[in-house]
Amino acid sequence: MGRPDINIEFKKLAQTAVARSANGIVVLIIKDDTDKTFNTIAYTDEKDVEIGKFTAENVGYIKTTLNGGVKKVIVSRVDVAAPTPVDTAINNIGNVHYNWIGLAKGSVSEQTKLVELVKEMPKVSAVVFNNAADHERIVNFANTKVKPKGLAEITGDKYVSRILGLIGGCPLTESTTLKILSDLESVTEPANVDVAVDEGKFVLYNDEGVVRVARGVNSLKTLGETKYADMKKITIMDTLSLIRRDVYTMFKDRYVGNYKNSYDNQIIFFVAVQDYLNELSSEEILDKDSSNIVDVNIAKQREELIKVNKEAAEWSEKQIKTTTVGSYVYPLTNIKVNDAMEDLDFDILN
């Protein structure tokens, strides 16, 4: 009799989705030998950052990340001379939950290593500097130089922490497109801002005395059968990541080991997920005019059944759907995520 309870928990997750997305948890990798007694430490407010634990430069990076509105910054400290700093930093974090990760500053090889690792981490996204990752969970910040107000110009890799905080603190109902970076006086723009955006670069531009984000895009450039144009938008991918994480967590916590893998019990799970999707529609995270459904992945389940019984190739869809495969569940969703309002195109008639 556990289903109603589980449905209520799923509904609560949907109702808090916007609030949870606005308070992301990010990891900032820093190199620092000031205090080697710890590997990771978390902060939720810049006033709590202990200046005795870090160099002044790294204190600035941590505070800059927090200023973006994130709920928590997990600092992963590695020694300055660490031979594999990115691997070490991620190993230090372990299985702690976080949404985004970035280097306070890093070499070309370190940015590349972070890209390689995050591509293998389906629940995590990253901000990197000047790396054409061509991936929907990697944001490629590409301004070569930025000029903070009242300070000397700095190279773009030293501004990744600010972009990390900005993206990590942005709710699902908004996007970073045209956001003003009020701490900047100016930036070095790419030769053509629009072309840079089309190439999957997250760039800032100078706009009548302020600095703005050109478009909230990730580095995805190559589209295909499973890579769509909408997936270039950070806000779209953040929504999909949150849905994937919520469903996976609920499945792991409430279903695994508690139910036999029968079709009837799979339906219990699918109904709960459907209630969750319906609630996301009412919260306008998903398009309420679209179907937004979950069901058995017929093609995948048929493929797996054929491996144990070749006759499954000729079975009806109903027979495939009702015949489970060992301990596996193969759900398929068809959803439409609401994008943030970004573009305006209209004529004013005389």
Q: 3-class secondary structure for the chain?
A: CCHHHHHHHHHHHHHCHHHHHCCCEEEEEEECCCCCCCCEEEECCHHHCCHHHCCHHHHHHHHHHHCCCCCEEEEEEECCCCCCHHHHHHHHHCCCCCCEEEECCCCHHHHHHHHHHHCCCCCCEEEEECCCCCCCCEEEECCCEEEECCCCCEEHHHHHHHHHHHHHCCCCCCCCCCCECCCEEEECCCCCHHHHHHCCCECEEEECCEEEECCCECCCCCCCCCCCHHHHEHHHHHHHHHHHHHHHHHHHHHHCCCCCCCHHHHHHHHHHHHHHHHHHHHCCCECCCCCCEEEECHHHHHHHHHHHCHHHHHCCHHHHHHCCECCECCEEEECCECCCCCCCCCCCCC
Is the confidence at residue 3, as pLDDT, over 50?
A: no
Mean pLDDT is lowest, of 122-126, 243-247, 260-264, for 243-247
At residue 207, the pLDDT reads 97
Sign of CA dihedral 231, 236, 240, 242: positive
At residue 258, the pLDDT reads 85
At residue 4, the pLDDT reads 44
At residue 171, the pLDDT reads 87
* pLDDT tens profile 54-65: 999 999 999 999
At residue 5, the pLDDT reads 56
Mean residue pLDDT across the chain: 91
Paired tokens of 246: 């919520």
Paired tokens of 39: 């590997």
Indicate the pLDDT class of residue 86, thresholds 50, 70 and 90. Answer: very high
Paired tokens of 249: 């967590």
* pLDDT tens profile 65-79: 999 889 999 999 999
Is the confidence at residue 166, as pLDDT, over 80?
A: yes
d(CA 140, CA 143): 10
At residue 340, the pLDDT reads 60
The domain spans of the chain are 23-169+178-213, 229-334
Q: What are phi and psi of 248, to 5 degrees?
A: -65, -45
Residues 6+ apart with CB under 8 A from 317: 298
Greater model confidence, 148 or 258: 148
Residues 6+ apart with CB under 8 A from 143: 156, 159, 187, 188, 189, 190, 203, 204
Length of the chain, please? 350
pTM for this predicted structure: 0.89
With contact defined as beta carbons under 8 Å apart, do 220 and 227 qualify?
yes
Cα distances from 303 to residues 101, 112, 307, 308, 334, in angstroms, run 36, 36, 7, 10, 20
At residue 22, the pLDDT reads 63
At residue 8, the pLDDT reads 64
Is the confidence at residue 11, as pLDDT, over 50?
A: yes
For residues 41-55, give the mean pLDDT: 96
With contact defined as beta carbons under 8 Å apart, do 125 and 137 qualify?
yes
Indicate the pLDDT class of residue 255, thresholds 50, 70 and 90. Answer: confident
Is the confidence at residue 21, as pLDDT, over 80?
A: no
At residue 172, the pLDDT reads 83
Greater model confidence, 350 or 334: 334
* pLDDT tens profile 169-189: 998 888 999 999 999 999 999
Task: Please give the CATH number for the structural domain made up of 23-169+178-213.
Answer: 3.40.50.11780
d(CA 194, CA 291): 34
In which residue are the tokens 């059968």 written?
225
* pLDDT tens profile 282-311: 888 899 888 899 999 999 999 999 999 999
d(CA 170, CA 162): 13
* pLDDT tens profile 195-211: 999 999 999 999 999 99
Paired tokens of 193: 């801002």
* pLDDT tens profile 334-346: 888 887 654 445 4
Report which of 53, 65, 160 is spatially closest to residue 115, judged by C-alpha positions. 160
CB count within 10 Å of CB 334 equals 11
At residue 1, the pLDDT reads 36
Bridge partners of residue 29, in order along the sequence: 76, 103
